[in-house]
Structure 1
Amino acid sequence: MGVIGDPGDAAQFAQFVSKNTQLYKMKNGYPLDTAAVVHFTRKSLAGSLREGKPTMVNMLLAGYNEKTGGELYTIDFLASCVKVPYAVHGFGGHVCLGILDKYYSPRLSESEGYEALKSCIQEIHQRLFVNLRNFQVKSISKSGVKVLPVINPATFIAGK
Protein backbone atom coordinates (compact mmCIF):
# COMPACT_ATOMS: atom_id res chain seq x y z
CA MET A 1 0.00 0.00 0.00
CA GLY A 2 1.39 3.36 -1.02
CA VAL A 3 -0.24 6.44 0.50
CA ILE A 4 0.35 10.10 -0.29
CA GLY A 5 -1.44 13.21 0.90
CA ASP A 6 -1.66 15.24 4.07
CA PRO A 7 1.05 13.73 6.32
CA GLY A 8 -1.25 13.25 9.32
CA ASP A 9 -4.07 11.77 7.25
CA ALA A 10 -1.70 9.52 5.28
CA ALA A 11 -0.04 8.02 8.36
CA GLN A 12 -3.30 7.62 10.30
CA PHE A 13 -5.29 6.16 7.42
CA ALA A 14 -2.55 3.73 6.35
CA GLN A 15 -2.35 2.45 9.92
CA PHE A 16 -6.16 2.25 10.13
CA VAL A 17 -6.40 0.08 7.00
CA SER A 18 -3.43 -2.08 7.99
CA LYS A 19 -4.65 -2.75 11.54
CA ASN A 20 -8.24 -3.45 10.45
CA THR A 21 -7.12 -6.01 7.87
CA GLN A 22 -4.97 -7.69 10.54
CA LEU A 23 -7.92 -7.67 12.94
CA TYR A 24 -10.12 -9.30 10.29
CA LYS A 25 -7.57 -12.09 9.84
CA MET A 26 -7.36 -12.69 13.60
CA LYS A 27 -11.15 -12.75 14.03
CA ASN A 28 -11.96 -14.92 11.01
CA GLY A 29 -8.87 -17.09 10.58
CA TYR A 30 -8.16 -16.06 6.99
CA PRO A 31 -6.96 -12.83 5.36
CA LEU A 32 -8.92 -10.53 3.08
CA ASP A 33 -8.04 -10.71 -0.59
CA THR A 34 -6.85 -7.59 -2.41
CA ALA A 35 -10.28 -6.67 -3.80
CA ALA A 36 -11.83 -6.90 -0.32
CA VAL A 37 -9.15 -4.64 1.18
CA VAL A 38 -9.76 -2.16 -1.64
CA HIS A 39 -13.52 -2.25 -0.98
CA PHE A 40 -12.98 -1.68 2.76
CA THR A 41 -10.57 1.18 2.05
CA ARG A 42 -12.89 2.84 -0.45
CA LYS A 43 -15.89 2.49 1.89
CA SER A 44 -13.89 4.07 4.74
CA LEU A 45 -12.79 7.00 2.57
CA ALA A 46 -16.34 7.54 1.29
CA GLY A 47 -17.68 7.45 4.85
CA SER A 48 -15.26 10.13 6.01
CA LEU A 49 -16.19 12.25 2.99
CA ARG A 50 -19.93 11.97 3.78
CA GLU A 51 -19.29 12.90 7.42
CA GLY A 52 -17.74 16.18 6.29
CA LYS A 53 -14.27 15.21 7.53
CA PRO A 54 -12.55 14.02 4.35
CA THR A 55 -9.34 12.04 4.61
CA MET A 56 -7.00 13.74 2.15
CA VAL A 57 -5.06 10.77 0.77
CA ASN A 58 -4.42 9.15 -2.59
CA MET A 59 -3.44 5.51 -2.57
CA LEU A 60 -1.95 2.72 -4.60
CA LEU A 61 -2.99 -0.65 -3.25
CA ALA A 62 -1.47 -3.83 -4.68
CA GLY A 63 -1.67 -7.51 -3.92
CA TYR A 64 -1.51 -10.99 -5.36
CA ASN A 65 -4.48 -13.32 -5.75
CA GLU A 66 -4.12 -16.98 -6.81
CA LYS A 67 -7.12 -16.70 -9.15
CA THR A 68 -6.47 -13.34 -10.80
CA GLY A 69 -2.72 -12.86 -10.29
CA GLY A 70 -1.26 -9.46 -9.47
CA GLU A 71 -3.67 -6.60 -8.90
CA LEU A 72 -3.08 -2.86 -8.59
CA TYR A 73 -5.72 -0.32 -7.63
CA THR A 74 -5.57 3.45 -7.41
CA ILE A 75 -7.89 5.20 -4.96
CA ASP A 76 -8.16 8.99 -4.68
CA PHE A 77 -9.33 11.25 -1.85
CA LEU A 78 -12.88 11.29 -3.28
CA ALA A 79 -13.01 7.48 -2.86
CA SER A 80 -13.03 6.79 -6.58
CA CYS A 81 -11.24 3.55 -7.34
CA VAL A 82 -10.03 1.82 -10.48
CA LYS A 83 -8.01 -1.32 -11.20
CA VAL A 84 -5.01 -0.40 -13.36
CA PRO A 85 -2.01 -2.18 -14.91
CA TYR A 86 0.36 0.55 -13.63
CA ALA A 87 -0.02 3.86 -11.82
CA VAL A 88 1.89 6.89 -10.60
CA HIS A 89 1.09 9.64 -8.12
CA GLY A 90 2.40 13.10 -7.52
CA PHE A 91 3.92 15.74 -9.75
CA GLY A 92 6.66 13.40 -10.99
CA GLY A 93 3.97 11.00 -12.10
CA HIS A 94 3.14 13.21 -15.07
CA VAL A 95 6.68 12.68 -16.35
CA CYS A 96 6.52 8.91 -15.83
CA LEU A 97 3.25 8.06 -17.56
CA GLY A 98 4.75 8.18 -21.05
CA ILE A 99 7.69 6.00 -20.01
CA LEU A 100 5.37 3.43 -18.43
CA ASP A 101 3.14 3.49 -21.53
CA LYS A 102 6.18 2.71 -23.64
CA TYR A 103 7.62 -0.11 -21.55
CA TYR A 104 4.55 -1.78 -20.01
CA SER A 105 3.40 -5.18 -21.16
CA PRO A 106 1.43 -7.82 -19.23
CA ARG A 107 4.42 -10.17 -19.51
CA LEU A 108 6.99 -7.67 -18.23
CA SER A 109 9.71 -9.38 -16.21
CA GLU A 110 10.84 -8.10 -12.83
CA SER A 111 14.17 -6.90 -14.24
CA GLU A 112 12.45 -5.10 -17.15
CA GLY A 113 10.08 -3.43 -14.69
CA TYR A 114 13.01 -2.37 -12.52
CA GLU A 115 14.73 -0.83 -15.57
CA ALA A 116 11.52 1.04 -16.46
CA LEU A 117 11.42 2.43 -12.91
CA LYS A 118 15.05 3.51 -13.22
CA SER A 119 14.13 5.36 -16.43
CA CYS A 120 11.23 7.07 -14.65
CA ILE A 121 13.37 8.18 -11.73
CA GLN A 122 16.16 9.36 -14.01
CA GLU A 123 13.65 11.44 -15.98
CA ILE A 124 12.22 12.94 -12.79
CA HIS A 125 15.73 13.94 -11.67
CA GLN A 126 16.43 15.54 -15.07
CA ARG A 127 13.16 17.44 -15.43
CA LEU A 128 12.14 18.38 -11.90
CA PHE A 129 13.90 20.11 -9.06
CA VAL A 130 13.95 17.29 -6.52
CA ASN A 131 16.43 16.26 -3.89
CA LEU A 132 15.39 12.69 -3.28
CA ARG A 133 18.50 10.57 -2.97
CA ASN A 134 17.13 7.05 -2.63
CA PHE A 135 14.10 5.28 -4.03
CA GLN A 136 13.17 2.01 -2.36
CA VAL A 137 11.69 -0.54 -4.77
CA LYS A 138 9.58 -3.56 -3.83
CA SER A 139 8.18 -6.31 -6.04
CA ILE A 140 4.92 -8.10 -5.21
CA SER A 141 4.39 -11.62 -6.53
CA LYS A 142 2.88 -14.94 -5.49
CA SER A 143 6.09 -15.55 -3.52
CA GLY A 144 5.45 -12.44 -1.41
CA VAL A 145 7.06 -9.02 -1.20
CA LYS A 146 10.67 -8.78 -2.35
CA VAL A 147 12.91 -5.76 -1.72
CA LEU A 148 14.90 -4.81 -4.83
CA PRO A 149 18.09 -2.71 -4.91
CA VAL A 150 17.68 0.97 -4.05
CA ILE A 151 17.66 3.35 -7.02
CA ASN A 152 19.69 6.54 -6.56
CA PRO A 153 21.53 9.04 -8.81
CA ALA A 154 24.72 6.94 -8.57
CA THR A 155 22.77 4.16 -10.31
CA PHE A 156 22.31 6.41 -13.37
CA ILE A 157 26.00 7.30 -13.56
CA ALA A 158 27.03 3.64 -13.23
CA GLY A 159 24.57 2.68 -15.99
CA LYS A 160 26.04 5.11 -18.56
Structure 2
Amino acid sequence: MNHFPEQWGRPRDDLYSFIEPSVKPKQLEDAVQHTQSPIVTGTSVLGLKFKGGVMLAADNLASYGSLARFKDVERILQAGDETVVAAGGDISDFQYISELLSNLLITESYATDGQKLSTKNIYEYLCRVMYNRRTKINPLWNSLLVAGLEKGEPFLAYVDLLGTSFKAPTLATGFGAHIAMPLLRKYIDGRENEILEQEARKILNSCMQALYYRDARSLNKFTVASITSEGVKIEKNQLVQTEWKFADMIKGYAYSFLFEDVV
Protein backbone atom coordinates (compact mmCIF):
# COMPACT_ATOMS: atom_id res chain seq x y z
CA MET A 1 0.00 0.00 0.00
CA ASN A 2 1.23 3.48 -0.86
CA HIS A 3 1.26 5.56 2.35
CA PHE A 4 2.01 8.91 0.68
CA PRO A 5 -1.25 10.88 0.19
CA GLU A 6 0.24 13.17 -2.45
CA GLN A 7 0.65 10.12 -4.69
CA TRP A 8 -2.91 8.81 -4.35
CA GLY A 9 -4.16 10.80 -7.34
CA ARG A 10 -6.04 14.07 -7.70
CA PRO A 11 -9.70 13.53 -6.77
CA ARG A 12 -10.46 17.27 -6.43
CA ASP A 13 -8.71 20.23 -8.02
CA ASP A 14 -9.67 22.53 -5.14
CA LEU A 15 -7.53 20.39 -2.81
CA TYR A 16 -4.56 19.88 -5.14
CA SER A 17 -2.94 22.51 -7.33
CA PHE A 18 -3.93 21.95 -10.93
CA ILE A 19 -0.49 23.09 -12.13
CA GLU A 20 1.63 21.16 -9.61
CA PRO A 21 0.17 17.75 -8.69
CA SER A 22 2.91 17.13 -6.09
CA VAL A 23 1.60 19.88 -3.79
CA LYS A 24 0.20 18.42 -0.58
CA PRO A 25 -3.50 18.75 0.29
CA LYS A 26 -4.51 21.86 2.19
CA GLN A 27 -5.59 19.68 5.12
CA LEU A 28 -1.96 18.54 5.57
CA GLU A 29 -0.38 22.00 5.50
CA ASP A 30 -1.07 22.70 9.18
CA ALA A 31 -0.81 19.09 10.40
CA VAL A 32 0.92 18.56 13.74
CA GLN A 33 3.98 16.36 13.46
CA HIS A 34 5.70 14.58 16.35
CA THR A 35 9.33 13.58 16.76
CA GLN A 36 10.01 10.52 14.62
CA SER A 37 13.49 9.89 16.02
CA PRO A 38 15.79 11.56 18.57
CA ILE A 39 18.44 13.99 17.34
CA VAL A 40 20.85 14.78 20.22
CA THR A 41 21.18 11.68 22.37
CA GLY A 42 22.98 10.26 25.37
CA THR A 43 24.03 6.65 25.61
CA SER A 44 24.11 4.18 28.50
CA VAL A 45 23.08 4.66 32.11
CA LEU A 46 24.13 2.03 34.66
CA GLY A 47 22.58 1.33 38.03
CA LEU A 48 23.18 -1.17 40.83
CA LYS A 49 22.20 -1.84 44.40
CA PHE A 50 24.72 -2.34 47.19
CA LYS A 51 24.47 -2.80 50.94
CA GLY A 52 22.49 0.15 52.22
CA GLY A 53 22.18 2.09 48.99
CA VAL A 54 22.02 2.50 45.22
CA MET A 55 24.54 3.84 42.71
CA LEU A 56 24.08 5.24 39.19
CA ALA A 57 26.59 6.24 36.50
CA ALA A 58 26.20 8.06 33.17
CA ASP A 59 28.77 9.66 30.90
CA ASN A 60 28.68 13.33 29.89
CA LEU A 61 28.46 12.96 26.12
CA ALA A 62 25.53 14.10 23.98
CA SER A 63 25.92 12.93 20.39
CA TYR A 64 24.48 14.74 17.37
CA GLY A 65 23.94 11.65 15.27
CA SER A 66 27.40 10.11 15.09
CA LEU A 67 29.14 13.37 16.01
CA ALA A 68 30.39 13.65 19.61
CA ARG A 69 28.98 17.17 19.84
CA PHE A 70 28.47 18.07 23.52
CA LYS A 71 30.89 16.71 26.12
CA ASP A 72 29.63 18.32 29.31
CA VAL A 73 25.99 17.20 29.54
CA GLU A 74 24.62 16.00 32.86
CA ARG A 75 22.18 13.13 32.49
CA ILE A 76 21.76 12.49 36.22
CA LEU A 77 19.21 14.60 38.10
CA GLN A 78 18.48 14.74 41.81
CA ALA A 79 14.74 14.80 42.46
CA GLY A 80 13.98 15.30 46.13
CA ASP A 81 16.03 14.44 49.19
CA GLU A 82 16.70 10.78 48.42
CA THR A 83 15.85 10.21 44.76
CA VAL A 84 17.95 10.38 41.60
CA VAL A 85 16.73 10.07 38.00
CA ALA A 86 19.10 9.31 35.12
CA ALA A 87 18.28 9.15 31.42
CA GLY A 88 19.54 7.73 28.17
CA GLY A 89 18.13 8.83 24.83
CA ASP A 90 16.97 12.24 23.62
CA ILE A 91 18.49 15.10 25.62
CA SER A 92 15.71 17.61 24.91
CA ASP A 93 13.09 15.14 26.11
CA PHE A 94 15.08 14.62 29.30
CA GLN A 95 15.16 18.38 29.79
CA TYR A 96 11.37 18.34 29.50
CA ILE A 97 11.17 15.53 32.08
CA SER A 98 13.47 17.52 34.37
CA GLU A 99 11.10 20.47 34.14
CA LEU A 100 8.11 18.24 34.92
CA LEU A 101 9.84 16.88 38.02
CA SER A 102 10.89 20.35 39.15
CA ASN A 103 7.30 21.62 38.86
CA LEU A 104 6.01 18.52 40.65
CA LEU A 105 8.38 19.00 43.58
CA ILE A 106 7.54 22.72 43.83
CA THR A 107 3.81 21.99 43.80
CA GLU A 108 4.25 19.32 46.46
CA SER A 109 6.19 21.72 48.68
CA TYR A 110 3.23 24.14 48.65
CA ALA A 111 1.04 21.56 50.38
CA THR A 112 2.81 22.06 53.76
CA ASP A 113 1.27 18.84 55.05
CA GLY A 114 4.55 17.32 56.16
CA GLN A 115 4.49 14.72 53.41
CA LYS A 116 7.23 14.29 50.83
CA LEU A 117 7.33 12.46 47.53
CA SER A 118 9.16 9.18 48.00
CA THR A 119 11.30 7.47 45.38
CA LYS A 120 8.43 5.11 44.59
CA ASN A 121 6.03 8.05 44.13
CA ILE A 122 8.38 9.70 41.62
CA TYR A 123 8.91 6.42 39.80
CA GLU A 124 5.16 5.78 39.46
CA TYR A 125 4.65 9.36 38.28
CA LEU A 126 7.26 8.89 35.54
CA CYS A 127 5.65 5.59 34.53
CA ARG A 128 2.34 7.40 34.00
CA VAL A 129 3.99 10.24 32.10
CA MET A 130 5.86 7.91 29.75
CA TYR A 131 2.84 5.70 29.09
CA ASN A 132 0.57 8.72 28.58
CA ARG A 133 2.88 10.15 25.93
CA ARG A 134 3.16 6.75 24.28
CA THR A 135 -0.64 6.48 23.97
CA LYS A 136 -0.68 9.88 22.25
CA ILE A 137 1.79 8.52 19.66
CA ASN A 138 4.20 11.22 20.82
CA PRO A 139 6.61 9.40 23.14
CA LEU A 140 9.42 10.88 25.16
CA TRP A 141 12.45 9.19 23.60
CA ASN A 142 14.15 8.21 26.85
CA SER A 143 15.02 5.24 29.00
CA LEU A 144 14.99 6.26 32.65
CA LEU A 145 16.54 4.77 35.77
CA VAL A 146 15.03 5.86 39.08
CA ALA A 147 17.12 5.19 42.19
CA GLY A 148 16.80 6.02 45.85
CA LEU A 149 15.65 4.73 49.21
CA GLU A 150 12.10 3.56 49.88
CA LYS A 151 11.41 3.21 53.61
CA GLY A 152 15.14 2.85 54.17
CA GLU A 153 15.57 0.10 51.57
CA PRO A 154 17.46 0.51 48.27
CA PHE A 155 15.14 1.11 45.31
CA LEU A 156 16.13 0.80 41.64
CA ALA A 157 13.69 0.75 38.72
CA TYR A 158 13.44 1.27 34.96
CA VAL A 159 10.88 2.87 32.63
CA ASP A 160 11.17 3.56 28.90
CA LEU A 161 9.35 5.38 26.10
CA LEU A 162 6.77 2.60 25.77
CA GLY A 163 5.88 2.76 29.44
CA THR A 164 7.58 -0.57 30.09
CA SER A 165 8.63 -0.61 33.75
CA PHE A 166 10.28 -3.03 36.15
CA LYS A 167 12.68 -3.26 39.10
CA ALA A 168 15.94 -5.18 39.43
CA PRO A 169 19.17 -5.19 41.49
CA THR A 170 21.13 -4.18 38.37
CA LEU A 171 19.90 -2.14 35.40
CA ALA A 172 21.34 -0.54 32.28
CA THR A 173 20.06 1.40 29.29
CA GLY A 174 21.32 1.72 25.72
CA PHE A 175 24.40 -0.23 24.67
CA GLY A 176 25.12 -0.86 28.35
CA ALA A 177 22.25 -3.35 28.37
CA HIS A 178 24.41 -5.55 26.09
CA ILE A 179 27.94 -4.82 27.29
CA ALA A 180 27.67 -3.89 30.98
CA MET A 181 24.73 -5.99 32.14
CA PRO A 182 26.60 -9.33 32.00
CA LEU A 183 29.32 -7.80 34.21
CA LEU A 184 26.84 -6.27 36.63
CA ARG A 185 24.87 -9.49 36.94
CA LYS A 186 28.03 -11.49 37.47
CA TYR A 187 29.25 -9.39 40.38
CA ILE A 188 26.03 -7.98 41.88
CA ASP A 189 22.95 -10.17 41.43
CA GLY A 190 22.39 -12.19 44.59
CA ARG A 191 25.03 -10.20 46.46
CA GLU A 192 23.41 -6.76 46.55
CA ASN A 193 23.04 -7.01 50.35
CA GLU A 194 26.71 -7.88 50.81
CA ILE A 195 28.65 -5.56 48.49
CA LEU A 196 29.91 -2.35 50.09
CA GLU A 197 29.86 1.04 48.44
CA GLN A 198 33.59 1.03 47.61
CA GLU A 199 33.35 -2.30 45.79
CA ALA A 200 30.21 -1.16 43.96
CA ARG A 201 32.09 1.91 42.76
CA LYS A 202 34.96 -0.23 41.41
CA ILE A 203 32.49 -2.41 39.52
CA LEU A 204 30.80 0.64 37.97
CA ASN A 205 34.19 2.06 36.96
CA SER A 206 35.08 -1.22 35.23
CA CYS A 207 31.76 -1.20 33.37
CA MET A 208 32.20 2.40 32.26
CA GLN A 209 35.69 1.52 31.03
CA ALA A 210 34.31 -1.42 29.01
CA LEU A 211 31.66 0.84 27.51
CA TYR A 212 34.21 3.47 26.54
CA TYR A 213 36.24 0.82 24.69
CA ARG A 214 33.22 -0.72 22.95
CA ASP A 215 30.55 1.98 22.54
CA ALA A 216 31.38 4.61 19.91
CA ARG A 217 28.80 6.99 21.45
CA SER A 218 30.36 7.00 24.93
CA LEU A 219 32.89 9.23 26.68
CA ASN A 220 35.56 8.61 29.30
CA LYS A 221 34.16 11.40 31.51
CA PHE A 222 31.13 10.50 33.59
CA THR A 223 29.02 11.30 36.65
CA VAL A 224 28.34 8.96 39.57
CA ALA A 225 25.45 9.33 42.01
CA SER A 226 25.31 7.37 45.27
CA ILE A 227 22.19 7.30 47.46
CA THR A 228 22.49 6.06 51.06
CA SER A 229 20.92 6.86 54.42
CA GLU A 230 23.37 9.77 54.62
CA GLY A 231 21.78 11.39 51.56
CA VAL A 232 22.56 11.84 47.88
CA LYS A 233 26.17 12.24 46.79
CA ILE A 234 26.85 13.21 43.17
CA GLU A 235 30.43 13.13 41.87
CA LYS A 236 30.96 14.89 38.55
CA ASN A 237 33.78 14.80 36.00
CA GLN A 238 35.01 11.33 36.93
CA LEU A 239 37.51 9.89 34.45
CA VAL A 240 38.00 6.38 33.11
CA GLN A 241 41.60 5.23 32.81
CA THR A 242 42.13 3.83 29.32
CA GLU A 243 45.06 2.58 27.26
CA TRP A 244 45.17 2.58 23.45
CA LYS A 245 48.88 2.01 22.76
CA PHE A 246 48.32 -1.70 22.20
CA ALA A 247 46.56 -0.87 18.89
CA ASP A 248 49.91 0.20 17.38
CA MET A 249 51.24 -3.35 17.78
CA ILE A 250 48.31 -5.04 16.04
CA LYS A 251 49.04 -5.61 12.35
CA GLY A 252 46.27 -6.84 10.08
CA TYR A 253 44.04 -7.73 13.02
CA ALA A 254 40.76 -6.78 11.33
CA TYR A 255 41.64 -8.66 8.12
CA SER A 256 42.71 -11.86 9.86
CA PHE A 257 39.68 -11.76 12.18
CA LEU A 258 37.17 -11.35 9.37
CA PHE A 259 38.69 -13.96 7.07
CA GLU A 260 40.22 -16.50 9.45
CA ASP A 261 37.61 -19.13 8.51
CA VAL A 262 38.26 -18.62 4.81
CA VAL A 263 42.03 -18.78 5.15
TM-score (norm 2): 0.54
Shift in CA distance, 19/149, structure 1 to aligned 2, threshold 3 Å: closer
What residue number does 2:164 align with? 80
Give the secondary structure class of the aligned counterpart of 1:87. strand
2:140 corresponds in structure 1 to 55
Three-state SS of the structure 1 residue aligned to 2:171 is: coil
1:11 maps to 2:95: yes
The separation in 1 between residues aligned to 2:133 and 2:208, in whole angstroms, is 34
User: Counterpart of 1:65?
Assistant: 150
Task: Name the aligned partner's letter for residue 7 of structure 1.
Answer: I
Secondary structure at the counterpart of residue 163 of structure 2: coil
Q: Alpha carbons of 1:10 and 1:133: their partners in 2 closer, same or farther (altered >3 Å)?
A: same
Q: Contact 1:66–1:142 at 8 Å: present in 2 too?
A: no
1:7-26 Cα shifts (integer Å, max 9, x gaps): 22111112212321332233
- Corresponding residue pairs, total: 155
Deviation at 1:149, TM superposition (A): 7.3
Change (3 A) 1:90 1:131: closer
What is aligned with 2:61? none
Q: How far is the alpha carbon of 1:6 from its aligned partner?
A: 1.8
CA distance in 1, matches of 2:162, 2:217: 28
- 1:42 offset after TM fit, Å? 0.9
In the alignment, is the contact (CA less than 8 A) between 1:64 and 1:71 conserved in 2?
Answer: yes
Which stretch of the first structure deviates more once superposed, 127-136 or 46-55?
127-136
Q: Is the 8 A contact 1:21 1:37 kept in 2?
A: no
Aligned to 1:146: 233
Shift of residue 5, structure 1, vs aligned partner: 1.8
- Alignment correspondent of 1:45: 130
Equivalent residue, structure 2, for 1:99: 183
Match of 1:137 in 2: 224
Greater relative contact order (Cα 8 A, min sep 6): structure 1 or 2? Answer: 2
Structure with bigger strand share is: 2
